[in-house]
Amino acid sequence: MPFVNIKIARNGVTQEQKARLIRGVTDLIQEVLGKSPSSVMVMIEELDPEDVGLGGETVAEKRRRKP
């Protein structure tokens, strides 16, 4: 059973986008690995933006600077 764990900063993705990610990843696993969609598990974990960093600063800091 393939297991895919996607980690994203909280408040950055809508429920619809998450559903599309789950469908898209499942379809990709089926296409590439030939696995049945019913055997593919996709987990989306939302992390606190203060706990995720990129380029030396937290996602929260980057979001505050964003115009």
Name the amino acid, one letter, at 42: V
- What amino acid is encoded at 14 in this protein? T
Backbone angles phi, psi at 16, to 5 degrees: -65, -45
Angle among Cα 41, 44, 50 to the nearest 5 degrees reads 155
Active site residue 67: no
* Residues forming beta bridges with residue 44, ordered by sequence position: 6
Question: What amino acid positions are annotated as catalytic residues?
Answer: 2
